[in-house]
Structure 1
Amino acid sequence: MRQAKFHNGDALTSADVKFTFDRILNVDGSVAKSLFTDIDHIDTPDDRTAVFVLKQPNVTILPYMASANASIVSQKVAQANGNDLSKKEASIGTGPFTLAEWVPDNYMLLQANKDYFIQGLPYLDGVRINVVPDQAGLVAALRTKAADMAIIEDARAAQSVRQEEGITLDARPSPNYNLLFVNTARKPFDNLKVRQAISYAVDRQQIVDAVALGEGDVTGPIAPALTQFALPTSQYPSYARDVDKARQLLQEANVGPIEFTMLTETSEPAYAKDIAQLVQQQLADVGIKMNIELLEFNQWVDRWLKADFDMAPGLNGGQADPDYYVFRYFTTDGNLNFVTSYKNETASDAIKQARSTTDIVRRKQLYQTVQTELVDGAPFIWLYVPRDYIASLNTTRDFVHIPTGNISYLRQTWLDK
């Protein structure tokens, strides 16, 4: 282990590493739990050595350990705060910046960590992260130089930034994906043919063109950026819009007139309403009436966590390994399986096997099974992967854009002013 210090000056030790992963595995509601369930136990022979003993081989665990979900926390600080890491005083890490101020839903002020374990970094004395509620506000902040950098969600805002002098827009294919969550525990979505009919009725390319202004790629269960594993969407029959086929499936389903509500968030992503309105129009073509219920994002999350919805648009995060796209939702014991209540033993078994083998050819075969099973079962209606946009003033230097929302390279960013 590196000789690193927490922001309060305490040394990071193997005890903190063990505490962090034990906490992930044992705290109720841990969203990262399923990423690490193959950990049997962790030994700490000395302060700078942590030995992870696994129940079985797991080829995904190393990239998961490098994710934000596995950030090491101070055992002393966490326990002193009742294991509640949402408190400002519990926000103690070992990164390049310390948390100086935090006003939820407003701003966060970070200061340089003078004891950062990479010598000479960070270059910046501090970083202020402002929460801007609308994309137009981000563009205005850049235009007036009130901001040096912005994360852009909406393709229309990105297009506007491109027209501005003195601003650079970096657009990269995102591993994140837009989708429709389908609650298979609710009628009529417990009927496979209804879900398949919706898949045939949705025009994914029209959504890409209208919402993302063409800057996106239609996707299946694994993002196209993972070229080694992702099947071409041309291999999925239901991805070629076919209104007649959709109507035929609905007739075979024999569930009568269909009316349901799309639970839609007002942000994250900002364009969720646009997706919902297009899907509403497309489903009307096959005789399905879809209502739209708009909620603030926090309210939407509360309902989503209770699986209290018929259908809902979402933007899910992606990673470099295909396991991240499928394990949590589509293994029968995955910690997010409750969201759609979808069970498919064939897909679940293939996902688990793919996690435990280093044979790339075998992994590819297994993930082909997973993708075809899931698209056919339609517990999600996968739509498209967007572009990940970072806009910055030309005076902002050496930031490295990682298209997962990762901003760790602020540590080496500097301002040419």
Structure 2
Amino acid sequence: MTTFRKIAALAVAAVMTISMGACGNTGSSAADTQDLVVARSLETTDMLPQTGFSNGDIWAIQQVYQTLTRNKTDGSGVEPGLATSWKQSKDGLSWTFNLRRGVKFHNGRTMTAKDVKFSLDFARTARDDKPWQFLFTAIRNVEIVDDYTVRLDLNEPWAPLPSDLSMSASSIMPADFGGKTETEFRNNPVGTGPYKLGEWKKGDYIKFVRNPDYWETGKPKLNSVTFKYVSDANTRSQMVQSGQAQIDEFPTAVSVSSLKKTRNVHVESFPSTSLIWVNLNNRRKPLNDVHVRRAMAYAIDKEAIVRAIYYGQAEKANSMLSKNLMGYSKDVKDLEYDMAKAKEELAKSSAPKHFSLTVQVQSGDPEKSMLAQILQESWKELGIDVQLQTLDSTTVYSNRTAGDFDVAMFEMTNDISDPDEWMQYMFSSSANVNSGYRNEKVDALIKRAAADSNQANRLKDYAEVQQIIADEAPEIPLVYKPGLFAVRDQVKDFTVTTLGEYKLADTTIARE
């Protein structure tokens, strides 16, 4: 309990810091100009949809680009986007999509089937810097039927296809990058979304301005949206309290009580697929030993984490699949906290006595910092020497992609309504960019589930995968979190989907 008393003391200090930082309101000018500022925890580093990787990229990309299908707000499925309808062939080997007419790109060109073919062909062409290419491996060919109809021919039946096409990597771009080189287009993107790129100062902010030719009549209502990169959670809270920003993305749980007491500020809690987990590099010894990983999982007291760090505003996770996503199984038996079992597992391992590892921690994130300290103390009881390395979020994410880490912690949401993305991305040998985990049975189950149109069969396969992952602990789920946002009262109709996407086309700013 000593560790958790220390963490509680840190939490109190964080509250005091946030409270002391509150200052006067400067938000009224935002209502005059309809310019929204969102203080974000992750930087936008890449605006090319097929290579953009983190939520810092994806949620920015979704303001500029659109996809054939789009996620419903509650994450229960997809609805028409740039395609108005679609139909699967009887043999399941092709899908025909009817395109929306009269949609213009930001450069004034009208979107046609030629643009759809170019975009999907580019997305499915394998390249090392395309982390989402695995979503398109089932597509054999993209055929232009006419200017407003495309047919996707498949190598095999693929049940998740309509959901896969809602992913940001499926965004529709103008053919041939609108006459630009790929590099030029990456830095000056052109899409069909409600906002277009205004200004991008990398490492600081990215600003989007209203698209006057947007196809949804009367939208968007804001003149501009600025995603301001602020890695420090306390600073983000201070910005929304003072009116420098209208929205604070992901305030810490410990700051919520202070924010709720701030004049003209309220805290929104949206249902979410957010999961915080411990990322173990299975490529490195001794983390490639299942007994070592199981020992480390048994040593983590998740209930204490929920109390000490999240003040009950999170829920202990039993599975690496979010509970708000189709396919989640409540029956998965997790490796619950048991230090005796942890020591038994370690005794069976290739490193039974002592080893060292480094946990990479994102700077400016007090919750991750406290989590890292809990892991350090918990694993110390097993004789593991844990060093904490604080890095900026961009470096932590790039290290994950490169496999240059021992242990790290991440918070992610699913990007589509089907579990296939998460299953492939996290655990498939062909697509895994997180842990390096390899399991032929898991690969076969994931592939079979994606090819099966029978929902009951798919759910059964996904439940089995979840249990295997829980047993072998290639990664360790910690908590499920709601989508928390500190929002100034003047912001109206701000909505975030269960999958984390910002719905800003209807948002407005009123006078305070």
Common fold by TM > 0.5: yes
Q: How many aligned residue pairs are there?
A: 409
Q: Give 3-state SS (helix, strand or coil) of 2:182's partner.
A: coil
- 1:39 maps to which residue? 139
Match of residue 23 from structure 1: 122
Which of 97, 103, 114 is matched with 1:4 structurally?
Answer: 103
Give the match for residue 265 of structure 1.
361
Closer, same or farther: CA 153–320 of 1 in aligned 2, 3 Å: farther
CA distance in 1, matches of 2:381, 2:250: 33
Cα distance in 1 between the residues matched to 2:441 and 2:196: 46
Select which of 279, 283, 293 maps to 1:185: 283
Q: 1:211 Cα shift?
A: 2.3
1:15-414 correspondence to structure 2 within 5 Å: 15-26=114-125, 27-77=127-177, 80-82=180-182, 85-87=185-187, 89=188, 91-219=189-317, 220-226=319-325, 229-232=327-330, 235-239=332-336, 241-267=337-363, 271-318=367-414, 319-334=416-431, 336-337=432-433, 339-407=434-502, 409-414=503-508
Q: Closer, same or farther in 2 for the Cα pair 1:315/1:323, shift >3 Å?
A: same
**Residue aligned with 2:496, SS:** coil
Q: Could you tell me how far apart the structure 1 residues matched to 2:391 and 2:405 are?
A: 12
Give, as a single letter, the amino acid of the residue that structure 2 aligns with 1:54.
L
- Percent identical among aligned pairs is 25
Distance 1:185 1:245, change over 3 A: same
Q: Where do 5+ consecutive residues of structure 1 fail to align?
A: none
Q: Which amino acid aligns with 2:508?
A: W
How far apart, CA to CA, are the structure 1 residues paired with 2:363 and 2:453? Answer: 39
**Cα pair 2:293 2:472 within 8 Å, conserved:** yes
Contact 1:153–1:270 under 8 Å retained in 2:
no
Instruction: Write the letter of the residue equivalent to 2:422.
Output: Y
Moved more, 274-283 or 149-158: 149-158
1:261 CA drift (Å) = 2.4
Structure 2 CA distance, aligned partners of 1:306 and 1:23?
23
- Deviation at 1:263? 3.5
**Residues in 2 aligned to 1:302 and 1:147: alpha-carbon distance in whole angstroms:** 28
Change (3 A) 1:184 1:18: same
Whichever residue aligns with residue 488 of structure 2, its letter is L
- Indicate the SS of the match to 1:238: coil
Opposite residue 416 of structure 1, the aligned amino acid is: A
SS at match of 1:329: helix
SS in 1 for 2:220: coil
Secondary structure (helix, strand or coil) at the match of 2:360 reads strand
Q: CA deviation at 1:61?
A: 1.6
Instruction: Give the whole-Å Cα distance in 1 for the aligned partners of 2:140 and 2:350.
Output: 48
Q: Measured at CA, do residues 41 and 210 of structure 1 come closer, stay the same or move farther in structure 2, by a change above 3 Å? A: same
The AA in structure 2 aligned to 1:196 is R
Q: 1:135 to 1:341 in 2, by over 3 A?
A: closer
SS where residue 140 of structure 2 aligns?
strand
Task: Report the CA distance between 1:231 and its aligned residue.
Answer: 2.3
Other structure's SS at 1:411 match: coil
Residue pair 1:397, 1:413 contacting (<8 A) in 2 also: yes
Structure 2, unaligned runs of 5 or more: 1-98
CA shift at 1:168, angstroms? 2.2
Amino acid at match of 1:332: S
Moved more, 294-303 or 352-361: 294-303
Give the letter for the 1:331 counterpart. S
Q: Verify the 8 A CA contact 1:139 1:160 in the aligned structure 2.
A: no
Question: Over the residues paired in the alignment, what is the CA RMSD in angstroms?
Answer: 2.0
Question: Matches of 2:505 and 2:278 in 1, distance apart?
Answer: 36
Q: Is the 8 A contact 2:360 2:405 kept in 1?
A: no
Give the letter aligned to residue 259 of structure 2: V
For residues 381-404 of structure 1, the C-alpha deviation after alignment (integer angstroms, 9 at most, x for no partner) is: 111122211222222112222243
Q: Is the 8 A contact 1:268 1:315 kept in 2?
A: no
Task: Report Cα offsets for 1:220-255 as digits up to 9, x if no partner.
Answer: 1211123x532226x42512x111111111112252
Counterpart CA distance in 1 for 2:171 and 2:218 is 22
Instruction: Sort the Cα spacing of 1:259 and 1:86 in 2 relative to 1 into closer, same or farther, 3 A.
Output: farther
Give the residue type in structure 1 aligned to 2:323.
P
Instruction: Please say if residues 188 and 258 of structure 1, whose CA atoms lie closer than 8 Å, have aligned partners that are also in contact.
Output: no
* CA displacement at 1:10 relative to structure 2: 0.9
